[in-house]
């Protein structure tokens, strides 16, 4: 196998359009927007490297050449690009990259996020907690209360045994999904290639009782708009 195509065990999703971050993202893809002194994508890649990943797949679409050029000179972790001619969303993006990824379990993280660590680094906690015998999906969740810049109603209830339950018809749920997860690639079996959300594979894992959650114990910054970016920078400076 060509060394550039050696399977990786981690993927970073960096293909989104970043519409809510305009005008900043008119000429820059959102993953390259700097927070706390460096692009959000680099924060994620550096933490993957710290967790022991030496090869990471990064997809791209909007202003994709800028992302490819940015990661081209990284020594660690080495980045394998997975370009998308058409935007495939989160699920289609991972499915498209599966030939480049490990066939047992993969850590997938959004590129456009920022967090501070708790007692132990999040990625290391995820790796330690993933139990392939009982889990097909392990999602990192964070409390709605105290999350910086998050104004949604929450996504999940975290049950006593660690399994997740969707908010469903409830007015609110106490936890939201952070965009970090470990997935068993078999969740994609039988799915037609194309544009679809990772929610499709979460539903598969939820239906089988094999979707679990891990609560992040540091701070989480939801940076969706230029105003939220400035607020986050101010908060971090304090």
Count of structural domains within the chain: 1
Range of the domain at 120: 3-237
Q: How many whole angstroms separate alpha carbon 60 and alpha carbon 68?
A: 8
Domain CATH number, residue 74: 3.90.550.10
149: Cβ–Cβ under 8 A, 6 or more apart, which residues?
221, 222, 223, 224, 228, 231, 232
**Token output for 206:** 């939820």
- From first to last of its 238 residues, what are the pLDDT tens digits of the chain? 344 445 679 999 999 888 888 998 999 999 999 998 999 999 999 999 999 999 999 998 988 789 999 999 888 888 998 988 899 999 999 999 999 999 889 999 999 889 999 999 999 999 999 999 999 999 999 999 988 888 899 999 999 899 999 999 999 999 999 999 999 999 999 999 899 999 999 999 999 999 999 999 999 988 888 888 888 888 888 7
Residue 131 burial by Cβ neighbours in a 10 Å radius (0-12, 13-18, 19+): exposed
């Amino acid at each position: 196998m060509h060394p550039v195509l050696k399977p990786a065990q981690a993927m970073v999703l960096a293909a989104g359009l970043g519409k809510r971050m305009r005008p900043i993202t008119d000429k820059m893809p959102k993953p390259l927007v700097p927070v706390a002194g460096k692009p959000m994508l680099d924060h994620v890649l550096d933490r993957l490297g710290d967790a022991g990943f030496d090869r990471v797949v990064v997809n791209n679409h909007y202003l994709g050449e800028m992302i490819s050029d940015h990661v081209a000179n990284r020594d660690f972790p080495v980045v394998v690009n997975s370009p998308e001619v058409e935007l495939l969303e989160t699920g289609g993006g991972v499915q498209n990259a599966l030939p480049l990824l490990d066939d047992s379990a993969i850590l997938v993280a959004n590129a456009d996020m920022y967090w501070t660590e708790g007692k132990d680094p999040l990625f290391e906690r995820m790796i330690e907690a993933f139990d392939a015998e009982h889990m097909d999906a392990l999602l990192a969740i964070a409390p709605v209360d105290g999350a910086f810049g998050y104004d949604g109603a929450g996504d999940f209830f975290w049950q006593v045994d660690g399994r997740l339950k969707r908010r469903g018809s409830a007015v609110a749920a106490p936890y939201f999904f952070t965009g970090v997860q470990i997935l068993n690639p078999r969740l994609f079996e039988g799915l037609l290639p194309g544009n679809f959300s990772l929610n499709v594979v979460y539903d598969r894992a939820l239906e089988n009782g094999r979707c679990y959650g891990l609560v992040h114990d540091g701070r989480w910054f939801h940076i969706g708009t230029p105003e939220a970016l400035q607020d986050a920078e101010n908060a971090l400076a304090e």
